[in-house]
Structure 1
Amino acid sequence: MSIPAGQQAAAALLARLTGDDTPVETHISAVFIGPDRVLKLKKAVALGFLDFTALADREHFCRREYALNAAAAPGLYRGVHRLARGADGALALDADGPAEEWVLEMAPLQAPDFLDAIAGRGALDAALQDALADTVAALHAGLPPVAGWDSPGRLGAVLEGNVEAALAAGLPAPRIGAWAAAARGWLARLAPALAARAAAGAVRRCHGDLHLGNLVLWKGRPVPFDALEFDEVLATIDTGYDLAFLLADLDRRVGRAAANRVLNRYVARTGDAGLVAGLPLWLSLRDVIRAHCVHRVGQDGLPFLAAAEAALRPPPPRLVAVGGLQGTGKSHAARLWAPAMGAAPGALVLRSDEIRKRLHGVAPECRLPPEAYGAAASAAVRAALEAMAGQALRAGHSVIADATFLETEMRAGIAAVAASAGVPFQGLWLEAPLPLLRARVAARRGDASDAGLAVLEQSARRDPGPLDWRRMDASQPMPNEI
């Protein structure tokens, strides 16, 4: 163990209490894992970006870690303990003597339940991806906004700090120089949008280290843990930047489709379509951080650097609208096409059914009463869809709009959004035989659409008017890209 000499007695006690004499170690902590408890010791080290050498600071950061994480996963974090001498002079947990060390107690976790392990065995499926996005959306919703934060300025400081770290790690200086110049250009262009997001409440004291290794299945659902506790400034960020670490990790470990699905589910739950403006720079920064971290320890950071460079060269945005009767597979097609379309991690999919659920304050799978489908409610859904699409397109991010688009006015409206944003537009009309659509609608389970067979029959009798969109046979497999 690389435990500082002054903490050897504490480490020996924790090993006896847990039966673990080979703790899991990082450069800042040692985690002793027992059958019914986990005890985490913060190492008395100073590493430039943190200083745990003082006992009082180790107590503070144990308590801070508990405070930051306990609410997200009740029962996972159990409390903070003092190590002190008892009447017999032996070091013990919560003895009456003066504190000699502080430790954090957690419940034991099973290694296969960590989300990086789940991803590694190919089991981070669509349902778990949706649950993951819901978890992050709920986490961010529960955090209070931070007022008066200079979001562009702080991000600039992060950028410059990572340029220095990348060079110190030995990454190629010409490439780092070119990346830094491009990133600074992005930051200058994004500064007004980042400042506006901060003023609107998007900056919060976030998790700060939100990758798959810091998420675990706990009581059947994914929960975050091990939030960054030692630097309040570093963890006070735009919620979109917090999400970007997870998206970058998903893209690498699982694939672009998983990152795209989590992005779209997060936006479906939060309505925050504006976060896509920052994604090129945020994703690039996250990849540069990975690049210099792994390069410093002798691994190859160049693939991460290549990803960081690519993120700053997104293709131009476009708008695709997918319409047709219920059961034609519009949402399936949108999810299929989105990952390969536009800037990383793919197009923003704006589904009218999900927007309707969010406007009524429920999860996508919750059913709504008939009055939620009245004319006024449907007009609000259309307005929200067009507003979110326009916001994302003007920010440079591609969009797929997913709705029936049975009305001529709605088709004209979504085309006008593209024209207003100055981006190419493509309308796709999916169609299939009515018996097949009936079978598909009847087989739906856990879907955002509340439309049943009666709604399908009613829609099928409607005349959609003149159609100048490209017709596609939805009874056949869709092409992988459009």
Structure 2
Amino acid sequence: MTNTFKQSQQPSRAPSTDESAQRGLVNALLDPRRYPHAVKNVRLTETHISWVLLAGRYAYKIKKSVDLGFVNFTSLALRRYYCEEEIRLNRRLAPRIYLDAVPIGGTPKMPEFNAQPTLEYAVRMRRFASSKQLDQLVSRGQILPRHIDSLAVTIAHFHASLPAAEAGSEYGSAAAIYSAVSKIFEQLQVLLKDSKDEAGVIALRDAGEAEYAKCLVWFGQRHAGGFIRECHGDMHLGNIALIGQQPIPFDGIEFDPALRWIDVVSEVAFTVMDLLHCQRPDLAYRFLNAYLEATGDYSGVSVLRYYIYYRAAVRAMVNAIRAGQASLPQRAKGKALASCRSFLALAAERIAKRCPGLIITHGLPGSGKTTFAQAALERFQAIRIRSDVERKRLFGLSPLADSRSQIGDIYGADATRRTYARLHELARELLIDGALVIVDAAFLKQHERELFRQLAQELGTPFAIASLQAGAATLRARVIQRQNDSNDASEADLAVLESLQEKQEALSPQERLHAVAFFNEGDSSATDLEAWKKLTRLLSNT
């Protein structure tokens, strides 16, 4: 594939427009009469690289004439080019928000849209309430699990639609990754003057370089595997809006192709990192697992830790730049500096985080294995591998596909053996990567359970069996309900339930040493509380 950026001709970098003249134009645009549509008042917001004028139904973004190293908007031609790029790139995910790039002419004191000669260009967008941005919704506790699931599926489908970078492309290469991270830490060392900050940045940089060395092979494999694509590039929570109950990413990176031609997991890591920063690890791991389940890209976990570290450093740098802006009020500077430090602390925490452990579920259809696994992955920050999904993936089927109507029975002995072998393979890779892993499968046969116990023993990780139990009537009711709903990957019907009830092998006395029983019958909250405590002890080997 020939990437789009190489096909486009960048304009030459002409001398910079005087920023004070640009600011004068922006001030003139605070007059509602300057707009070609009804405007009662105009509100101005500012970042380190742009001004955004909120006027009536629309927002107009004007790029500042700045060269910050990672971004260069120092000529009118460059700003026009990047306005057009912003429209092209963001319409992929938010076509109803991003409208066009409009010229602004007239005079600096009396600007007029679509007039000549052109003084400036602006990206015209359809406005939405800032209260709908996910960072604000999360802070108010108004984001719902279904919003997170929808976002994960949206991003998974978006990534699947993108062509991969060429095999010889520098984008997303190990060298490009190292360069991007190095530039961030160079900026941080310049911007942060406090001696404690300086020492912390150096220590964090060194920790990142050690992790980078561990990931070198994976970076190469990811590039060769086609995981470098022209992504959004800046998918933190402030760049996602909930519009019509659908999370819509906006404000993707247009100014540097190297920052958007990235590993898809680097993109996912940004959202995961920001949810962690908002003290919502439950939502972070819900999002991550929903994405992994939709894509099957479990190999990406090998580089996830590094990319979370990188994304936290990016946000630290952005806040450090903001804290250094002369025009910013002192209180806002203090807030930006505090945010910078909190992102650096998160980067330090995540680059060091390794807590491998293995949980396997055990139970009949309808016993609540997947419900338990969802709760557990959110509680323990774990990666779930689901047998119902991976079985279908082995046969080229989507999670909700009816296997019997397409290719016949995929539940025979050989298919089941292949499925458990795949679960074992994935679990091994994830455990080696330092993840806590939940394998969501029936595990009704002792030899199936033993394979995974041996895996945990081999790798020296904690091992636990979550045994899900419910009465016969409850099992039947749940299986019937699930079939009627047709919204789950499991295809077990009553005949399957009855067959498995006859064939299941009880946990042995030795297995019970590693087992925790969860009784999913009626109100079992008190019992579950003790079960969760026991499971936590097993995972911590105490």
Letter paired with 1:158: A
Where do residues 209-288 of structure 1 align in structure 2 (5 Å cutoff)?
Answer: 209-253=234-278, 255-288=280-313
When residues 383 and 292 of structure 1 are mapped into structure 2, their CA distance, relative to the original with a 3 A threshold, is: same
Alignment of 1:114 with 2:133, yes or no, is: yes
Alignment size in residue pairs: 474
Letter paired with 2:374: R
Identity of aligned residues (%): 32
Question: Is 1:329–1:474's contact at 8 Å kept on the other side of the alignment?
Answer: no
Find the aligned partners of 1:216 and 1:432 in 2 and give their Cα distance: 41
Please name the residue that 1:102 is paired with. 121
Letter paired with 1:159: V
Alignment partner of 1:447 out of 488, 491, 500: 488
Alignment of 1:33 with 2:72, yes or no, is: no
Matched residue SS, 2:43: coil
Where do residues 129-144 of structure 1 align in structure 2 (5 Å cutoff)?
Answer: 129-144=148-163
Matched residue SS, 2:141: coil
Find the aligned partners of 1:115 and 1:362 in 2 and give their Cα distance: 32
Question: Is 1:319–1:424's contact at 8 Å kept on the other side of the alignment?
Answer: yes
Please name the residue that 2:164 is paired with. 145
Q: Deviations over 1:134-187 (max 9, x none)?
A: 112122222222233363222222332232233322352222222222211111
When residues 292 and 102 of structure 1 are mapped into structure 2, their CA distance, relative to the original with a 3 A threshold, is: closer
When residues 458 and 80 of structure 1 are mapped into structure 2, their CA distance, relative to the original with a 3 A threshold, is: same
Please name the residue that 2:147 is paired with. 128
Alignment partner of 1:12 out of 28, 35, 39: 28
Find the aligned partners of 2:148 and 2:289 in 1 and give their Cα distance: 10
Find the aligned partners of 1:466 and 1:339 in 2 and give their Cα distance: 26
Deviation at 1:244, TM superposition (A): 0.9
Moved more, 26-35 or 183-192: 26-35
Matched residue SS, 2:151: helix
When residues 91 and 165 of structure 1 are mapped into structure 2, their CA distance, relative to the original with a 3 A threshold, is: closer
Letter paired with 2:179: A
Letter paired with 1:374: Y
Please name the residue that 2:532 is paired with. 480
Please name the residue that 1:169 is paired with. 192
Alignment of 1:294 with 2:319, yes or no, is: yes
Where do residues 37-116 of structure 1 align in structure 2 (5 Å cutoff)?
Answer: 37-85=58-106, 91-95=111-115, 97-116=116-135
When residues 218 and 377 of structure 1 are mapped into structure 2, their CA distance, relative to the original with a 3 A threshold, is: farther
Please name the residue that 1:425 is paired with. 463
When residues 221 and 46 of structure 1 are mapped into structure 2, their CA distance, relative to the original with a 3 A threshold, is: same
Letter paired with 1:451: A
Letter paired with 1:12: A
When residues 241 and 251 of structure 1 are mapped into structure 2, their CA distance, relative to the original with a 3 A threshold, is: same
Residue ranges of structure 2 left out of the alignment (5+ in a row): 1-17, 324-332, 536-542
Alignment of 1:348 with 2:383, yes or no, is: yes
Alignment of 1:374 with 2:411, yes or no, is: yes
Find the aligned partners of 1:340 and 1:166 in 2 and give their Cα distance: 33
Deviation at 1:340, TM superposition (A): 4.8
Alignment of 1:311 with 2:350, yes or no, is: yes
Question: Is 1:441–1:452's contact at 8 Å kept on the other side of the alignment?
Answer: yes
Please name the residue that 2:3 is paired with. none
Find the aligned partners of 2:317 and 2:160 in 1 and give their Cα distance: 31
When residues 231 and 321 of structure 1 are mapped into structure 2, their CA distance, relative to the original with a 3 A threshold, is: same
Letter paired with 2:300: L
Matched residue SS, 2:384: strand
Letter paired with 2:469: E
Letter paired with 1:77: Y
Moved more, 101-110 or 32-41: 32-41
Question: Is 1:73–1:218's contact at 8 Å kept on the other side of the alignment?
Answer: no
When residues 31 and 360 of structure 1 are mapped into structure 2, their CA distance, relative to the original with a 3 A threshold, is: farther
Q: Deviations over 1:356-376 (max 9, x none)?
A: 454566664565546354325
Where do residues 329-368 of structure 1 align in structure 2 (5 Å cutoff)?
Answer: 329-341=368-380, 346-359=381-394, 364=399, 368=403
Q: Deviations over 1:75-107 (max 9, x none)?
A: 221112223459xx9754334x34332121222
Find the aligned partners of 2:458 and 2:297 in 1 and give their Cα distance: 20
When residues 82 and 111 of structure 1 are mapped into structure 2, their CA distance, relative to the original with a 3 A threshold, is: same
Please name the residue that 2:441 is paired with. 403
Question: Is 1:336–1:480's contact at 8 Å kept on the other side of the alignment?
Answer: no
Deviation at 1:60, TM superposition (A): 0.4
Matched residue SS, 1:23: strand
Moved more, 98-107 or 398-407: 98-107
Matched residue SS, 1:99: coil
When residues 340 and 9 of structure 1 are mapped into structure 2, their CA distance, relative to the original with a 3 A threshold, is: closer
Letter paired with 1:164: E
Q: Deviations over 1:270-315 (max 9, x none)?
A: 1111111122222222223333443533231333322222212223
When residues 140 and 365 of structure 1 are mapped into structure 2, their CA distance, relative to the original with a 3 A threshold, is: same
Question: Is 1:334–1:349's contact at 8 Å kept on the other side of the alignment?
Answer: yes
When residues 25 and 324 of structure 1 are mapped into structure 2, their CA distance, relative to the original with a 3 A threshold, is: same
Q: Deviations over 1:328-352 (max 9, x none)?
A: 22122222222454xxxx2111111
Deviation at 1:260, TM superposition (A): 0.7
Question: Is 2:61–2:124's contact at 8 Å kept on the other side of the alignment?
Answer: yes
Moved more, 239-248 or 314-323: 314-323
When residues 176 and 8 of structure 1 are mapped into structure 2, their CA distance, relative to the original with a 3 A threshold, is: closer
Letter paired with 1:169: L
Letter paired with 2:158: L
What TM-score, normalized to structure 1? Answer: 0.89
Question: Is 2:360–2:466's contact at 8 Å kept on the other side of the alignment?
Answer: yes
Moved more, 180-189 or 18-27: 18-27
Letter paired with 1:45: V
Please name the residue that 1:157 is paired with. 179
Find the aligned partners of 1:175 and 1:28 in 2 and give their Cα distance: 27
Residue ranges of structure 1 left out of the alignment (5+ in a row): none
